[in-house]
Amino acid sequence: MPVVELGKGRHVIAFDIDEEVLKPFSLGYAREAFVKLDSMLDKVLEYRIRQKFPSEDAQRLIGLMAGSRANSSFQSIAYKADILSASQKDRIDKFRSVRNTLTHNSIGELEFMVNKNQEDVPKFLKSELEKGISIVKELAGG
């Protein structure tokens, strides 16, 4: 996939899902892939919020939020501002649930094995990563 680029004016974001997400995943770095994709999702949400609220004060506030841990609120803000549909919000919640289990639990992969055969865990993670990529592309193109 080519580089995804959003914006032509003041705010531009660009990323390469193949290089930054799929390549690390294919090399066995599932946690890195999920974290990177989650970061891309946050940047796309920030970009969409910036588009929706172009005033200088809003831009300043969004910048402050992006530079702090308050960027975790971008999903809620995007949903309340009708940038995200309920379905998109649910899909993001599901992706982030898998991401959180994988990255914040020292035995994240083992936790998935409880409900899946060991052979299915890589397929399960690949499927969840693809769902996350799908929502990022959808929001980046929309």
* Domain range enclosing 83: 4-141
Residue 31 and residue 33: Cα distance in Å, rounded?
5
Of residues 25, 4, 19, 51, the one with CA closest to residue 127: 25
- Print pLDDT tens along the chain (142 aa): 445 555 555 667 788 999 999 999 999 898 999 999 999 999 999 999 998 999 999 999 998 998 887 777 899 999 999 999 999 999 999 999 889 888 876 665 665 655 555 557 788 889 999 999 999 999 988 4
Q: How many domains does the chain have?
A: 1
Whole-structure pTM over 0.95, yes or no? no
Q: Which residue has the tokens 């995943």?
A: 25
Which residues of 1-142 form beta strands (DSSP E)?
4-6, 13-15
